[in-house]
Structure 1
Amino acid sequence: MATGNLLSSVRGRPEERQDKREGRMMEIQMYNVGLGECFLLGQGDERIAVNCGTRNKKINGRDSAGIFREIGGDIRRNGCTVFLTQFDPEHVGGFLQIVREESAGIQAVCLPDLFSERWMSELLALLLLQDLSRSCFLPGKAVTLSGLMEVLLTLSCPIRLLKRGDQVGDIQVLWPQKTRLRKDLEETLGEIGIPGAVYEQDRWMWKELVQVAARMREIFMRLVALSGMEEIPRNGEHIPVELEEEVRGFRADFRKLRRNERFLGMAERFQESVELLRTFHDRTGLIFHVGEDGKENFLYTGNGWKEWAVWLEKNEDGLVPLHRKYWCISVPGHGTDECYWDFAPYAPRHFLVSNGYVAGQEAGKISGRYAGMFAVPGVIMHCTSSNWCEGNKDGICSCWDAQITSPELCSVIREEETKSQKRKEDETA
């Protein structure tokens, strides 16, 4: 079987590319992080780590911290560009844990571009409102976006903001698309009722939140410009001296806002709109694929695929066409029925499904439509949990073929193999 070109930026005639790819085998490591996500995509010496998050404190009886140490060790040994596809607590929390353990192995960090335009201050304010609505009575609790910013300020590697059409090595970004994202933002603000909020104090508090988000956006943009530069003067917190004043001002303003009783009242009232905020949040995440069409194409669908699949399939802006076939697809939304999509037309050989038990979230099971009579013929399901699936009846799996990672550390999927190779837990861990 011919080898693909997952990360290489080699270009030229097809016969030249084939020669240069000789011996470079595509490999995907799918870590068992339960209901979460972590893939390591690689070819040759190049690696991309996609997210590092989980909702589970224990995964099949094993402390999740041990699994993150293993992931961090792989990042340190191989060196990785890290893709943080969206700013939810699981992904950001896992990333922060990896950074604390193995920041030296992180060669670059790539984020969805939610920062480069002025209007994105309102977008960031919505994401902050979602974070704060989760814990509006816990002012001391870490907030996802601000926690991420604080850690990125201490890193010395390049930071990139990605939008539709951008390319990192041979990974091509399909989403976010700025025009559609702005339209989504305006519609969500209208649905939530922020522009015409009943309480005048809510309108004022929203303006203050947008101002705080604008300060954060400016810090991110300056940080992106500085990132990767050699010998940047840093203070005792390892923050660039050039950004000290801005960071100090942001911290003070954000702390003051989170302690404001009127703001906490607004956050409590907007609890009714948490589902709208979650839906909007999912639409801001990265979707990408291997940019160069070949026999072993990989598609990452994130959580927003179902919302934009038809738009992406039609290539509405003419910028990035999808491939006709995909060798491997990470199914959207952890495989839940809410995010189900029929990928049969793409003739996939492998599905990646990161899922696991979370108390009180029975709707979070893997959809039975990926199994049984709806299953794509011949597809191999790589799942982190066989029990947390609607297609599993009395211990019998109804998939055509399934490779269950649990309780091993990870599944390794290689292009010339029809079944995954599994790496066992280190008995001494």
Structure 2
Amino acid sequence: MFSNDAMTQSDKRMINVIFALSAAVILFATVQNEIPTGIIGAIGVMAVVGYILNVAGDKTPIVNQFFGGGAIVIIFGSSYIFHSGIIPHETADTITTFVKGGGFLSFFIASLVTGSILGMDTNVLKKAALKYIPVILGGVACAFLFTGLVGSVLGHGFFDSVMLISLPIMGGGMGAGAVPLVEIMSGNTGMSAEMLLSKMVPALAIGNAIAIVMAGLLDKLGKFYPSLTGNGKLMRGSEQQQDTQQQEQPTSINVLGVGALLAITMFFVGTMLSNIISMHTYALMIIFVAVVKVTGFMPRELEKAAHAWYKFVVDNLTPALLVGIGVAYTDLNQIIASLNLVYFLLVFATVLGAIIGAGIVGRLMGFHPIEAAITAGLCMANMGGTGDVAVLAASKRMELMPFAQISSRIGGAFMLILATLIIELLK
């Protein structure tokens, strides 16, 4: 949480003491159901719980080496803590309202998308954008193939396995994926919306959980086989192009303020464009920021400010947001209730196929296989924006957020079009 190489040991000890006292006060108020409402109550609890679980996960053997460390423990640990009766349910309600209705997730993603795109090398961005869609398609094709074959072997059927398991998992989450898929399919397949949702929703939850775990394993694979990864750089060769932001002097408070304002402005632009163009706000924001970057319209100093704000948000707010994901979006009971062997194998086949297909095609397109598998594979197989944050946190590659969002939004929209075409062909 407090990462500053210039701090002395005395400064660090003082910060640890202050954090311990603050955590004691906040946790005591939480247990006593006395937290303030709104952002101040939610962010206080989320920051403290996120930091504690993050440290626990990063220090737990096996978990820290193979399963994403703190990110995994924060998401599933906070889901259990806040939904098991240990913490008053009013606190969970406050956090859920803040993350969903309060727009904390949108604020976080806007900061990451704006700062990471404006901080990229322009030539790398141009090359990656042209080659990225085929990598998504490779992941989707392998996901469908693997799931269909496993379904055929297990007696679930090739077509049903693809349409009811693989397609919703690869469809961009719940609101942008499963719900419109149900609307498309319920009127054309003879299955009720309730029946379709009962099959799709658990698949999404389990697929999201598997994607997060696999992200941690891919990070570990990259450490064993360095040739497969760019350590957060998507395109091969781009790791030699050091971004000038990383060589900047210490960032001032004013610069962070400008960066935050730019991120918020870009989200406003995406929101206004979505009223004109029938696309998701995130997708339009990505396109707009990318155009601004490629055209060189944004002054370099403002690009640096946006990138500095992105770094600040990642370093300080990620554990808090992961608590929000665990509380507001992760239902452990639903995941456990759906865990029969056949269902698990079908979901696992989808996620594994997405990884392998995206990794292979990514390699052919000039990308690092692990980064391609994470962004075009796992970020298609998770639950949209929340899943993107969780997957990138588990793989320690938050700088890939723009490509993760392309997968979730543009790739997810493609899944809806594909579902419509398949249904029309089978009429």
TM-score (norm 1): 0.25
Relative to its length, the structure with more strand (as a share) is 1
Q: Which has the higher contact order (CA 8 A, sep 6+)?
A: 2
